[in-house]
Chains A and B, each alone.
Chain A
Amino acid sequence: MVPLSWYLALSAVLFTIGAVGVFVKRNVISIFMCIELMLNAVNLTLIAFSSFYREVSGQLFVFIVMTVAAAEAGVGLALVIAVFRNRESLNTDDINLLKL
């Protein structure tokens, strides 16, 4: 028997790892993976609550989040490819054309 709080703690840790990764990582693909990790941490929270309450709307939410994450991954990778074709680099320090 795993109590709800363990799931919540795990998903909070995963979310934090993702959020820190977005700030720390320098490669666009890694940043992208960190964002996916954050989304999946949220999915875990929703599933845990849904199972805890014996209620289905959290799981419905997870379905929506999964499909949206897939669409986002498609668009994100397309943008990454477009940047790489023109710039030959995925390091965020090189993507510096627009600034004050």
Chain B
Amino acid sequence: MIFFLQEQIPLPNPPISSAPPVQVNAILTDINPIVNYLPILLLLIIAISFPVVALNISSFLRRTVFDQAKLSAYECGNDPVGDARERYSVRYYIIAMLFLIFDVETVFLFPWAIIYDQLAIFGLIEIFIFIGILIVGYYYAWRKGALEWV
């Protein structure tokens, strides 16, 4: 039982680096290991600038007509002002359930994306079959009127 008092089992051997490291990266990371996080910083900048730019461009292009409904905070169709303990309509439920299912199923795309370069065309076909089955389910729900706001 003393065995479980460790955090992880000890590694059998020191990790063997299979591919020779890229020289430029090696030099940079020798200077400062935080350089490895540079792509994330770039992604962050792009992610922040995208909505800012998009909103500003559209504010130049749009006509400015305001009314009561447009000025109120967007709350998915609910009245944004009032008691927070309001009951939701049961009609949200079916949408929520569909969202839940389809949202969670996409979790399988992550492991697929990680080894996509090894699976190649085979993996692409497999994932299209997977998404195809999801689309059939979605189409069935649509056809049956689950997306109608009755």
Residues on A close to B: CB < 8 A? Answer: 1-5, 8, 51-54, 60, 63, 66-67, 70-71, 73-74, 77-78, 81
Contacts and interface: CB of A to CB of B under 8 A. Distances in A.
Contacts, number: 51
A70 B96 CA distance: 12
Given A74-B97, A78-B97, A66 B107 contact: yes
A71 to B, nearest CB: 7
Contact of A81 (B5, B9, B93): B93
A46 to B, nearest CB: 15
A2 B4 contact: no
Interface in B1-41: 4-9, 11
Interface residues of B, number: 18
- Name the residue among B4, B101, B103, B107 with the largest chain A CB count within 10 angstroms: B4
- Name the residue among A8, A52, A60, A66 with the largest chain B CB count within 10 angstroms: A52
Nearest to B105: A67
A51 to B, nearest CB: 6
Given A63-B108, A66-B104, A67-B108, A52 B97 contact: no
B97 A3 contact: no
**Overall SS of chain B's interface:** helix
Contacts of A70: 100-101, 103-105
A14 B108 CA distance: 26
Contacts of B4: 3-5, 8, 52
B7 A1 contact: yes
A60 to B, nearest CB: 8
Interface in B87-121: 90, 93, 97, 100-101, 103-105, 107-108, 111
A71 B101 contact: yes
A3 B105 contact: no
Contact of B9 (A52, A63, A71): A52
A70 B97 CA distance: 9
